[in-house]
Amino acid sequence: MPVVRVDLAERAYEVIVESGLLKNAGQAIANAGLAGKKAAIITDETVAHFHGETLLDSLQAAGFTPTFHKVPAGEASKSMATAESLCRELTQAGHDRKSFVIALGGGVVGDLAGFVAAIFYRGVPFVQIPTTIVAQVDSSIGGKTGVNIAEGKNLVGAFHQPALVLVDPETLRTLPAREFNEGFAEAIKHAAIRDAAMVEELAALDPASREVPADLIARNIAIKARVVEEDEHETKDVRALLNFGHTIGHGIEAAVPYGEMLHGEAISLGTRAALYLSEKHAGLSPNDSRKILDLLAKYDLPLILPPAITTEVVMEKLARDKKFSAGAIRFVLLDALGSAKVVKTIAADDLVEAIGHLRVPSV
């Protein structure tokens, strides 16, 4: 059973990865020091159908008193209005500062539930139980929580570290193919910036099997954990390395109605743009670029920007992104597989050129 520790002094926590773990989630949560507390499960309607009863049974068997709070599936639920509604629901259900929140679902649920936990009674503990690839290898780790507003993605939020993260790879079997595949954009990112050997391992997987080894998930988690430990609040340009592919990717994602393009799909396009700029400005070899592009294609992730998404709108959206510091662009480039760096030499014209590159076929 792989266990990854995120060492943040008094806010340290463990990430446990084990097939079938959801059935034993209650005992694992009790073992983490939350025994006897009232639990508010926040999930979406789709995940509740597949996994809600299993979690409820496990919590009740471990002596918890859980309440269930469902939101509609999809990015539109990641909003201030939904966060307020959930806070009211928790209050009406009798929760207070002695309660804790459980996020059961993908990245949207994790970000939303974590944000609710951060602001409810000025902060209560929460547990992440991620059920998608993107959440298991990336968004459930590191304490970034938040919601979207019309001006951009994740512009309202808080750093609030979980008390525990429970990862059950078996939950991935219930995902539709599109949602299963999109999460691999984040695993591919980890390989690109920190673990070149993982490229071959990801290439060897069969997406149709829905089987992802626990050890591979744990390796991704460990990459994220080490970066978070070094730069929790993204003040040293270390955590910013995790934004590889995300600057233009977030601009693309925000250029269409929320949820129309999945996060990993937008990041795939942003990754292709970042690879183009890495070749031009950081000396990345075309051969290394091709390995990453081939991986993205293997998981049916898009590499061509839809014609309806204009360069002007993408530029407008990414200019509001948090990765712009005092108007300067902090952009992550690769100089080789497994080696990334943050630069401030990429100009707006370079971004426009990279977005244009996304309109031509990837040969």
Which helix H or strand E contains 324, and what residues bound it?
Answer: strand 324-325
Catalytic residue among 250, 272, 291, 330: 250
Q: How crowded is residue 3: how many other Cβ atoms within 10 Å of its Cβ? A: 11
Q: Tens digits of per-residue pLDDT, 185-195?
A: 999 999 999 99
Domain boundary among 155, 174, 193: 174
pLDDT at 322: 60
What Rg, from alpha-carbon coordinates, does the chain have?
Answer: 20
Shared domain check, 80 and 105: yes
239 is catalytic: yes
Shared domain check, 202 and 327: yes
122 is catalytic: yes
Give domain status of residue 112, yes or no: yes
Catalytic residue among 95, 160, 194, 224: 224
181 is catalytic: no
Describe the chain by its helix, strand, coil percentages, rounded to 5: 50, 20, 30
Q: Residue 338 corresponds to which amino acid?
A: G
Q: Domain with 107 in it: what CATH number?
A: 3.40.50.1970
Shared domain check, 201 and 61: no
Dihedral, CA atoms, 52, 54, 55, 61, nearest 10 degrees? 140
For the chain, give the percent of residues with pLDDT over 70: 98
Please say whether the beta carbons of 63 and 118 come within 8 A. no
Please say whether the beta carbons of 223 and 237 come within 8 A. no
Catalytic residue among 160, 189, 190, 263: 263
Give the three-class secondary structure for 272.
Answer: helix
Catalytic residue among 144, 160, 190, 219: 144
Domain boundary among 174, 204, 237: 174
Stretch 119-139: mean pLDDT: 97
Instruction: Give the count of domains, the chain.
Output: 2
Please say whether the beta carbons of 25 and 34 come within 8 A. no
Catalytic residue among 78, 246, 317, 330: 246
Q: Domain with 246 in it: what CATH number?
A: 1.20.1090.10
Q: How confident is the model at residue 362 (pLDDT cuts 50, 70, 90)?
A: confident
Half-sphere exposure of 316 (CA within 13 A, CB side): 10
130 Cβ neighbours under 8 A, 6+ residues apart: 103, 105, 106, 107, 110, 136, 139, 140, 165, 167
Shared domain check, 115 and 246: no
What pTM does this model have?
0.92
- The dihedrals phi and psi of 118, each to the nearest 5 degrees, come to -70, -30
Q: Tens digits of per-residue pLDDT, 293-340?
A: 999 999 999 999 999 999 999 999 888 766 665 567 889 999 999 999
Give domain status of residue 66, yes or no: yes
State the residue range of the domain holding 341. Answer: 185-357
263 is catalytic: yes
Catalytic residue among 186, 232, 253, 265: 186
Shared domain check, 217 and 150: no
Catalytic residue among 234, 265, 291, 317: 234
Q: How confident is the model at residue 235 (pLDDT cuts 50, 70, 90)?
A: confident
Q: Residue 202 corresponds to which amino acid?
A: L
Catalytic residue among 243, 253, 265, 322: 243
234 is catalytic: yes
pLDDT at 186: 96
Stretch 228-243: mean pLDDT: 91
With tokens 């693309």, the residue in question is: 252
144 is catalytic: yes
Shared domain check, 337 and 193: yes
Q: Which residues pair with 248 in a beta bridge?
A: none
246 is catalytic: yes
Shared domain check, 238 and 95: no
Give domain status of residue 179, yes or no: no
Stretch 97-111: mean pLDDT: 97
Shared domain check, 137 and 55: yes
